[in-house]
Amino acid sequence: MVTKIRKQIYLDPQQNEMLKQASQRLSISEAEVIRQAIIAQTSRAIPGKKNLAAWKKEKQFLQALLDQGGVAGKRTWKREDLYER
């Protein structure tokens, strides 16, 4: 079992009611609602947090496209052809 650290917090009555409703709606404890809220809030608030594995995969994909080389011949359309007239 993961060790947990006890914290005490103060909520106003409206926040307390919101917590109780979320707990019932999600069928999880009030403590779990708070833990999930902390994770959700802090993962959004940390700038620069990157999934390096995803970026590496994307880089490999783009490199594979580049390795295919250019398209043979010239294009047969002009940029203006893409727009409605």
Answer whether 19's CB lies under 8 Å from 30's CB.
Answer: yes
Task: Please give the pLDDT value at position 19.
Answer: 96
Instruction: Write down the domain spans for the chain.
Output: 13-69
Copy the structure tokens of residue 34: 């708070």
Task: Give me the pLDDT at residue 69, please.
Answer: 85
Angle subtended at Cα 61 by Cα 55 and Cα 63, rounded to the nearest 5 degrees: 100
pLDDT at 72: 81
- The tens place of each residue's pLDDT in the chain, 85 residues long, gives 789 999 999 999 999 999 999 999 999 999 999 999 999 888 776 666 678 899 899 999 999 999 998 878 888 888 888 888 7
